[in-house]
Structure 1
């Protein structure tokens, strides 16, 4: 894959989607409600008490994936600009919402 192929909109969309799916999977395993206020911040602060199920390895992976999500998003903004990054994030959100049979605004 060339540099030009790697940084296409479709590449960023696929990468972000993979990371989000893994975050959702690990959050489910750990029983962490990431959409609840303050929960994501507690995960990033390595507060395992936010999990409804004790699984230190899964919690570590969840936290690492959330950090990866942040890094991917930051790099996507740097490469494509803020407007394009927001558009891609919205497309990923809508795609994943359709896969789970929820409206895009549903938690």
Structure 2
């Protein structure tokens, strides 16, 4: 049980760090990540979703998004899908509270 708790703490910190960096780079580029189709556009290297041109920050945003998906898949393997989804959801909600509507997405139900 202690090993699972240690794994959870490690994954929490790593995913939190990546998500914070994603939000930072999205803010620099003025990308509304939570708007429909925006994450897909970034992953396809389509910078038309940027409100501010910054090629370096956009590349880092794209790289961090790809890393985030890889980390999520690895966390599924190590922690399990339910635990990972709860962890990612909690971090996402913390970021949403901190960033407000700067991430886009409007209101959720």
TM norm structure 2: 0.81
1:13-32 matched pairs, under 5 angstroms: 13-32=12-31
Distance 1:47 1:38 in 2: 11
- The runs of 5 or more residues in structure 1 that have no matched partner are none
Corresponding position of 1:48: 47
**What is the CA distance between 1:93 and its match in structure 2?**
2.5
Cα pair distance change 1:64/1:82, threshold 3 Å = same
In the TM superposition, structure 1's runs of 4+ consecutive aligned residues that sit over 3 Å from their partners are 94-98
- The runs of 5 or more residues in structure 2 that have no matched partner are 101-105
Distance 1:93 1:75 in 2: 18
Q: CA RMSD in A?
A: 2.3
Structure number with higher relative contact order (C-alpha < 8 Å, ≥ 6 residues apart): 2
Task: Report the 3-state secondary structure (helix = DSSP H, G, I; strand = E; otherwise coil) of the residue aligned with 2:51.
Answer: coil
Higher share in helix: 2
Distance 1:101 1:64 in 2: 21
1:68-107 matched pairs, under 5 angstroms: 68-98=67-97, 100=98
